[in-house]
Chains A and B, each alone.
Chain A
Amino acid sequence: MSGLVTNGSVLLTRFVSRFNGCTKRLSSHFTYFPDNGKPVEGETTKMNMMQAINNALDITLKTDDSAVLFGEDVAFGGVFRCALGLQDKYGKERVFNTPLCEQGIAGFGIGLATAGATAIAEIQFADYIFPAFDQLVNEAAKARYRSASQFECGALTVRAPCGAVGHGGLYHSQSPEAFFSHAPGLKVVVPRGPISAKGLLLSCIRERDPCVFLEPKILYRSATEEVPDVDYTIPLGKAQVLREGDAATLVGWGTQVHVLLEVAEMAGTNLGLACDVIDLQSILPWDEETVCNSVKKTGRALIAHEAPLTSGFGAELAATIQEECFLHLEAPVARVAGWDTPFPHVFEPFYLPDKWRCYQALVDLVRY
């Protein structure tokens, strides 16, 4: 993997590293909490999330002859370098640039999967996935259902970098998971770091349903963990409980998980409270059982996501929690999210559901 790290002269590395520069000027948006547990035994290698994703793609191309990897600027590794070195290794027929057209990328991927190939499509930024919305929501999501399983495109995985980076503004920061959560037939997954990215991406690629895999791009370089070398998967549709406690249940996904882990620490230090912290991981379908069992135990739920509050995926969680846990609830379900505005450039520090907003919401929740 060392080759990956040494090539520093690359696209958008600075996009991310500039964020780190910004943290010096602005208040830091989150602290990364590496995973301690290992999903499997065996040798590990220190990887950031970009390298872990590269590793999952490498394993797929090595073990699955039908697999192809494509998208805008993917040939030279993609603007975030997740495909770095893979064209050299597997050839231009398997790892390639497409013309600049997201609807084309999605439709092409559906066709590949329909004809028996494993298709891994990259959309350069999740903000640019909307031209592909029709193909994903009307075609990929419904292919199996409308043909009564005669046809399906489960071998399609669409990867897209999402989320805040400190200076992305309107069109390099969005988290569109909720849009896709409204499309029965799709699976929607968001990893929180290198270990989860590798295992979840391998699951998505092998899953029998089309998957949208949203990668919080701030983590590509800032998140580093000891990632198992072997081929492993993490089950879809399952949440992970990362901290345990009885005061409240904190639910998030992607970068926001790290914000909530810090909030849980703050609650421990300042208030002497212990919370359950749950990484939902799979947005669609989501793990109702784990979340509701936790809320039944704690009686209090706080959900946080970067996407705008209204019709964010938190709304679905809140509705289900009140339905399933009504008699256990000690307080109304709390949601902390991006405001109901487009993602603003210079106002990002005020826009995000940062640890202070989440912490205050938790204080209000336990004092209700």
Chain B
Amino acid sequence: MALRNGVSFLRLLTLRQSARLLTTHTRPELQNGGKLAEFPGAKAPYVTEMRFLDETSYDPIPIYRVLDNSGEVIDRNEEPNIDNDSLVNIYKTMAQLSQMDKILYESQRQGRISFYMTNYGEEGVQVGSAAALQPQDLVFAQYREVGVILYRGMTVTELVNQCYGNHEDPGKGRAMPVHYGSKQHNIVSISSPLATQMPQAVGAAYAFKRQANNDRIVICYFGEGAASEGDAFAALNFAATLDAPVVFLCRNNGYAISTPSSEQYRGDGIAARGPALGITTLRVDGTDTLAVYNAVKKARAFALENNKPVLVEAMNYRVGHHSTSDDSTAYRSVEEIEKWTKDESPIQKLKLYLERKGLWSDEEDKAWLKESRDNVVKTMQDAEKKQKPHWKEMLEEVYHDMPPRLQKQMQQMEQHLKKYKEHYPLNQYQSD
């Protein structure tokens, strides 16, 4: 965010220096003896030169990276200290995710599940960030963060059951596919309306802050599209003013369905909003799993230590269609997609890195991909055989205790089903 050419002061906000570095070059046109004005709303110097700022007044916020495209560490000092097992686990989770996406996407095409969304191209942001968190941290996700969910320990079986909405779905078949959630793994159940999770994440972080010996932060994932919602601004501003230990992780993948980021915002992306609101901010290469890991690890430590928010903008590309309801060739070129699949695949980059370190090989890769695929296919076959929850689950848990009116409605439906059972797919659902 350095102000370009000859501007009066320079603010550096980096994670390394948690304190702000304010360099006030004493410039002749500073009035009032350089003394800052003391308006309640701004402490700033007076000047006599009228200068409007615009998006070219600032240098673009740089993109932090650790690996180059061939999986080589660019600056040895930045190589994270991750033990070998964890490194392999990160990679395996990313590869597993990609295989799961392929099969479940296809299964939607075959009419086995009603809907699906893939994570292609964003595996690195998801798993790299998840690896930098602690199990006790609370996750508020958007929907394209399945790598986070897998890494935190939800099993492929649980996820597939959710997509099928069978009786083993922890969400009891009530939500559309990919709306996962797990109390056990500290993942708040995903809700479709965009950005609603963001102010909620801040409130949760505030509650953590007030707990004795707090060792938890909140991480809040959101897309660059969702960042246009009013809730997104509310969340950032609340987090800043109420000093909440929350890490905002924006997945900037270039698109919100068909809308390119160039029609979503002007200025320097989502990261630029951080310093403007007084939030410590970093932009990172989202295709570089290690860079994301470093970023989130530091961000987490900073948030916890200072009880302050951090904004991380991870730059990447949505390689897949928005969802099974979308065909992205209607609004972007195949060449554009290819560019990002070929050179910028996070999975490929991390694989090359692991190979350089002698931690992974092509044979191991082949075996793991096959194991991952077999696992998903087997799980799907099982999930398909499982019945959906009892229809009465439809009316449960609307309230803590079922109100009489809802009890009456349940009785009405029960009566109705006695008489008209042949017209309802009761055999697909559990029964009394």
Contact = CB atoms under 8 A, between A and B. Distances in A.
Given A12-B325, A18-B111, A171-B191, A349 B176 contact: no
B192 A127 contact: yes
Given A27-B423, A100-B225, A172-B192, A346 B174 contact: yes
A73 B229 CA distance: 15
Interface in B413-432: 413, 416-417, 419-420, 423-425
Contact of A99 (B263, B325, B331): B263
A345 B176 CA distance: 6
Interface in B164-194: 165, 173-176, 179, 191-194
A172 to B, nearest CB: 7
Contact of A72 (B114, B115, B231, B256): B256
* Residue of B175, B231, B322, B419 ringed by the most chain A CB atoms within 10 A: B175
A170 B192 contact: yes
A22 B257 contact: no
A100 B222 CA distance: 13
Contact of A25 (B394, B417, B425): B425
B420 A356 contact: yes
A169 B176 CA distance: 5
Given A79-B257, A99-B228, A170-B176, A9 B111 contact: no
B229 A11 contact: no
B174 A9 contact: no
B267 to A, nearest CB: 12
Interface in B371-409: 388-389, 391, 393-395, 398, 405-406, 409
A167 B115 CA distance: 8
B406 A128 contact: no
Given A167-B114, A346-B389, A347-B391, A14 B325 contact: yes
Interface in B84-128: 111, 114-115
Contacts of B324: 14
A166 B256 CA distance: 25
A339 B174 CA distance: 14
A342 B330 CA distance: 34
B17 interface: no
A1 interface: no
Interface in B250-265: 256-259, 263-265
A115 interface: no
A125 to B, nearest CB: 9
Contact of B230 (A14, A103, A347): A103
A145 interface: no
A350 B325 contact: no
A131 B395 CA distance: 27
B174 A347 contact: yes
Given A339-B406, A342-B398, A72 B174 contact: no
Contacts of A10: 327, 330
Contacts of B417: 350
A75 B424 contact: no
A130 B192 CA distance: 13
Given A72-B257, A357-B416, A341 B398 contact: yes
Contact of B259 (A22, A72, A130): A72
Contact of A339 (B176, B329, B409): B409
B394 A351 contact: yes
Nearest to B231: A131
B220 interface: no
B300 to A, nearest CB: 28
Contacts, number: 152
B338 interface: no
B257 A127 contact: no
A131 B230 contact: yes
A356 B425 contact: no
A349 B409 contact: no
Nearest to B110: A21
A360 interface: yes
A100 to B, nearest CB: 4
Contacts of B322: 11
B259 A340 contact: no
A104 B417 CA distance: 45
Contacts of B419: 360
A21 B191 CA distance: 26
Contacts of B388: 346-347
Interface in B41-62: none
A128 B394 contact: no
A75 B330 CA distance: 11
A337 B381 CA distance: 36
Nearest to B165: A346
Contact of B228 (A27, A76, A104, A354): A104
A339 B395 contact: yes
Interface string A90-114: 0000000101111110000000000
A325 interface: no
Contacts of B325: 11-12, 14-15, 79
A341 B394 contact: yes
Contacts of B394: 339, 341, 344, 347, 350-351
Contact of A170 (B175, B226, B231): B175
A341 B172 CA distance: 14
A137 to B, nearest CB: 16
Given A131-B229, A170-B174, A27 B425 contact: yes
A351 B388 CA distance: 15
A168 interface: yes
B355 interface: no
A293 interface: no
Contacts of A22: 111, 114
16 contacts: A14-B324, A14-B325, A22-B114, A27-B423, A27-B425, A72-B259, A79-B326, A99-B264, A104-B228, A131-B229, A169-B175, A169-B179, A170-B191, A339-B406, A342-B174, A356-B416
Given A10-B330, A97-B259, A345-B165, 13 more contacts: A9-B329, A18-B111, A21-B111, A73-B256, A100-B229, A101-B229, A130-B193, A172-B176, A339-B395, A339-B406, A340-B398, A350-B394, A354-B423
Interface of A: 7, 9-12, 14-15, 18, 21-22, 25-27, 72-73, 75-76, 79, 97, 99-104, 127-128, 130-131, 166-172, 309-310, 339-342, 344-347, 349-351, 354, 356-357, 360
- Of all A-B residue pairs in the complex, the 8 with the closest CB atoms, nearest first, are A167-B114, A171-B192, A346-B173, A347-B394, A169-B176, A99-B228, A346-B165, A15-B325
